[in-house]
Structure 1
């Protein structure tokens, strides 16, 4: 994606060439462009398009199930108004496996104009996809696929997944909070000194 384009949104954030660069950080990896292209092809659409109402629509992250029938994707829709940008960011679940589900819901967000940094979107097992993203103030994890609307909970920018455990902590905290994956059921909190030998201290996304 050419960030110097005239697009209002680009890769899930306001185009920095128009609105300035965000300084926030979150763990995880950038969305797979291969998965985005694959999802678009299976849905017979482009990854970026302008719809009949004049909204710029972009798939910013996607996860295609190995059965090639179930797709979870995140899409931004943006249109410049006279005084403000009309923007939404939605989670989509397309199910062509015979279950008849094709659903969408807005992401949990303080204000979608400030964007959505996806750090994880992948199928974790046969029935559940996991999504982790950072919005203006908070980071969230979602469980998608086996229930709708999807289950979600707030975590922290500092997070990681290892051995079916999502561990997270505030930047200078001495306690590590944990969730079982993919159920998102809470596990007992543990002190950093106990989490370190278990490899459950997540890296600091702001560390240099």
Structure 2
């Protein structure tokens, strides 16, 4: 299990000494902006990483800023118990007038980590894209309602209010509207290239 004072998880990835090989995939998107994470922690009046009163390691692993001071962030909580590690990842929004809403991210098993690849706002809706053990998911959430999660693929691209993604060895590019995640008519590769919605193929 964990060694000395090393964290159980770091930036959403498990300590290899505790949970084997962390997630490492060739996928679209980018690593979270550390300066945004630090600024979110400052606004939330908490450290980026700390151990809470119940012994859980808490960490902000991604953050983004929306209208009227709203913050979207992904939080990890982990604690080593006698026979297993209790770990969860939550997609959280903080803002007026509700305060904070949170949903546990969809995952085959959070023990294998959460690799956030995109977190941004479209008006009053925050959109999250992350990779878990088996799949990449896109999620949308507002201060007024529960988060919605949909599987996409590791190979995707955003352009304005649309997202295009390949399924492995697919012949068409699937299209989602942002931020609603409504699935639109698919495009041929040529159409997607012309629309700026054709991700790079990785096969």
Runs of 4+ displaced beyond 4 Å: none
Q: Secondary structure at the match of 1:137?
A: coil
Choose from 156, 159, 184 the match for 2:156: 159
The corresponding residue for 1:54 is: 55
**What TM-score do you get using the length of structure 1 for normalisation?**
0.88
Choose from 178, 183, 189 the match for 1:181: 178
Q: Secondary structure at the match of 1:7?
A: coil
The unaligned stretches of length 5 or more in structure 2 are none
Alignment of 1:182-197 (within 5 A): 182-197=179-194
The 10-residue stretch of structure 1 (7-16 or 18-27) with the greater mean CA deviation from structure 2: 18-27
Q: Secondary structure at the match of 1:150?
A: strand
The corresponding residue for 1:71 is: 71
The corresponding residue for 1:136 is: 133
Q: Secondary structure at the match of 2:134?
A: coil
1:100–1:163: structure 2 CA closer, same or farther, 3 Å change rule?
closer
Question: 1:16·1:22 contact (CA, 8 Å) conserved in 2?
Answer: no
Q: Secondary structure at the match of 2:78?
A: strand
Instruction: Give the CA deviation at 1:64.
Output: 2.0
The corresponding residue for 1:106 is: 104
Question: 2:141·2:148 contact (CA, 8 Å) conserved in 1?
Answer: yes
The count of aligned residue pairs is 199
The unaligned stretches of length 5 or more in structure 1 are none
Q: Supply the distance in 1 between the matched residues of 2:78 and 2:26 (Cα, whole angstroms).
A: 23
Q: Supply the distance in 1 between the matched residues of 2:23 and 2:187 (Cα, whole angstroms).
A: 32
Instruction: Give the CA deviation at 1:196.
Output: 2.5
The 10-residue stretch of structure 1 (159-168 or 189-198) with the greater mean CA deviation from structure 2: 189-198
